[in-house]
Structure 1
Amino acid sequence: MALWRIRATVDDRPGYLSVLTASLALRGVNILTVQVHTTEAGAVDDFLVDAPDTIDEADLVAAVERGRGRDCWVARSEARGLVDQPTRVLGLATRLVRDPEGAGEVLRTMLGADEVVWRPTPAVPHDAVGATTMLLNDPAGGSYELARRAPSFTPAEYARAQALVELASAVARREADRVTLALPDGAELTVRPATADDLAGVVALHEGCSARSRHRRYLSGAALPSPSRLRRLLAPARGVTLVATTTGSDGAAESVVAMANLLAEGDEAELALLVRDDWQRRGVGTALLRRLVGHAERSGYAALVLHTQAENAPMMRTVARLGRPVPVERDGSLLTVTVPLAARPAGGPVTHDTGRTGAVAGGPERARPAGGGR
């Protein structure tokens, strides 16, 4: 017995696939896997089959044509073809997460392309899928052009390939957001987007903060947030969470010393900061706030909304360092700051007027505003 790949188009009508499979079965061909790609020309069926050694390529083509198949392509396959397509794509996605620069090779492997070329110009949308050529837009700029002699590309293959390219771009952007923060006192921290793997470090961060710092951050109390709540903060549906960590030099384990959350709703985003007590008043909160403001501006949000207690003077100073006037509303002991992002002012301190005070903090959950503890 020998493994073969068969691709053929049949009319997308009830019973036509069974006619094709029956024609193969009459010749002792065992179908191991089948994928159906819907196209305007009909249903493109992609088979992995096990055929008797006495059957060759011409015999398989003849069997497909007798089963009402057309545009048939046949090629020998290997045992690795037995891995189902979703598992194979997930494995390739894992490779991209580890090495986003390997997008071209991943595309070649997934699609069996003969050539993969990156070009600095964007792809033309209506030319995205051709007979044996595929164009993919690279979210980072430019495009990929893939070519293979046979079989022709399908819309389903294009969708998978575009998803992998977008994954590679997202991972690359995440790596680009990783920076080393040099503080005025000479200490260095790593600032990067948070991941689900940071849960233990963020729990330790909260445990290492004083009750006052936690209360300033969450406003609702000084208790430790539940792990499920922290998981939601680490992976917001819209927005970003940054963590600042020690560099872990000299064999020391990395530890999270600050967390900044930016959660979006509509055209606004809410901000929250938490800095471990022994790292406060060293410039960490200011640096995180500036990075989140930059992220919000690049994302096109109209404004940032921040909440804090009126007594939280350190956070008020942090907002003042942004160098732009912001309206601040007071409701009892709670201050709400709105930082406009559409157009950055030339500079100036946070404004003060009757009943309005410069402030900062952040609470991404609208049901209960959270403070920006420092």
Structure 2
Amino acid sequence: MTVEDEVTVEGHDRLGRSVQMRLIGPPDAAALHELYTSASTRSIQRRFFTASRQAAFDYAVREAQSATDAHRCFGAFWAGELIGVVDWERTSEVAAEVGLLVLDPQQHIGVGTLLLRRALTSAFRAGIRTVVAEVLPYNAEMIDVLEHLGLPWRRRRDADCLEIELTLGGQP
């Protein structure tokens, strides 16, 4: 893990609000649980491909673990409240999968883009050069965010989802 990953980064959403992004770890377990409790069923389904909130709670246990060379999770905080989370997990020496959830009231104002850029920068520093996001085909908002990050991308259909592959040729 790089020193840069341990630094809290500040960004601004489209409303001009300051959003702090930092690594998620064991002390954040309760905040993750609250995030997934507060998230809409629609957001849970789009992130986990199931409406089961239990799937989100189970995954939160993984997200709350300390960062490793194979997995990092970042949270976005506004006014001290966790409003979104993104993580990447290494699938090979140079590839990873990425997942994102932002609370509904914070969607469409740039929080997801800020989080994705934070995660992709971390992945790039860790030697990752290709990141894949599995997205439900009707999740147009997420597809749009991924395809407009300014990175080379390609789209593949895989069973019931789309795989959007981003190439990290330079720092995101």
TM-score, normalising length: structure 1? 0.42
Find the aligned partners of 1:260 and 1:331 in 2 and give their Cα distance.
22
Find the aligned partners of 2:56 and 2:85 in 1 and give their Cα distance.
16
Over aligned residues, Cα RMSD in angstroms? 2.2
Residue of 169, 184, 187 corresponding to 2:17: 187
Cα-to-partner distance string for 1:167-194 (whole Å, 9 max, x where unaligned): xx96x54542x02221121222211011
Tell me by how many angstroms 1:281 deviates: 0.4
Tell me by how many angstroms 1:291 deviates: 1.5
Cα-to-partner distance string for 1:66-102 (whole Å, 9 max, x where unaligned): xxxxxxxxxxxxxxxxxxxxxxxxxxxxxxxxxxxxx
Find the counterpart in structure 1 of residue 132 from structure 2: 305
Find the counterpart in structure 2 of residue 323 from structure 1: 150
Tell me by how many angstroms 1:234 deviates: 2.3
Cα-to-partner distance string for 1:140-161 (whole Å, 9 max, x where unaligned): xxxxxxxxxxxxxxxxxxxxxx
Number of residue equivalences:
168
1:100-111 to 2 correspondences below 5 Å: none
Find the counterpart in structure 2 of residue 336 from structure 1: 163
Q: Letter of the aligned partner of 1:183 in structure 2?
A: D
Find the counterpart in structure 2 of residue 159 from structure 1: none
Q: Which runs of 5+ in 1 are unaligned?
A: 1-168, 248-253, 345-374
Tell me by how many angstroms 1:264 deviates: 0.8
Please give the secondary structure, in 1, of the residue aligned with 2:15.
coil
Asked if 1:272 is matched to 2:99, the reply is yes
Please give the secondary structure, in 2, of the residue aligned with 1:212.
helix
Find the aligned partners of 1:287 and 1:331 in 2 and give their Cα distance.
27
1:213-362 to 2 correspondences below 5 Å: 213-225=43-55, 227-235=57-65, 237=68, 238-247=70-79, 254-267=80-93, 268-341=95-168, 343-344=169-170
Find the aligned partners of 1:203 and 1:304 in 2 and give their Cα distance.
26
Find the aligned partners of 1:228 and 1:309 in 2 and give their Cα distance.
20
1:189-208 to 2 correspondences below 5 Å: 189-208=19-38
8 Å Cα contact 1:212-1:222 kept in structure 2: no
Find the aligned partners of 2:151 and 2:18 in 1 and give their Cα distance.
27
Find the aligned partners of 2:118 and 2:56 in 1 and give their Cα distance.
27
Q: Letter of the aligned partner of 1:314 in structure 2?
A: E
Please give the secondary structure, in 2, of the residue aligned with 1:317.
helix
Using a 3 Å threshold, how does the CA distance of structure 1 residues 205 and 187 change in structure 2: closer, same or farther? Answer: same
Tell me by how many angstroms 1:206 deviates: 0.7
Q: Letter of the aligned partner of 1:201 in structure 2?
A: A
Please give the secondary structure, in 2, of the residue aligned with 1:322.
coil
8 Å Cα contact 1:199-1:227 kept in structure 2: no
8 Å Cα contact 1:206-1:214 kept in structure 2: yes
Q: Letter of the aligned partner of 2:101 in structure 1?
A: L
Tell me by how many angstroms 1:260 deviates: 0.4
Find the aligned partners of 1:233 and 1:242 in 2 and give their Cα distance.
9
Find the aligned partners of 2:57 and 2:9 in 1 and give their Cα distance.
27
Q: Which runs of 5+ in 2 are unaligned?
A: none
8 Å Cα contact 1:192-1:242 kept in structure 2: yes
Higher RCO (CA-CA < 8 Å; seq separation 6+): 2
Find the aligned partners of 2:30 and 2:85 in 1 and give their Cα distance.
13
8 Å Cα contact 1:286-1:321 kept in structure 2: no
TM-score, normalising length: structure 2? 0.87
Q: Letter of the aligned partner of 2:149 in structure 1?
A: L
Find the aligned partners of 2:41 and 2:11 in 1 and give their Cα distance.
27
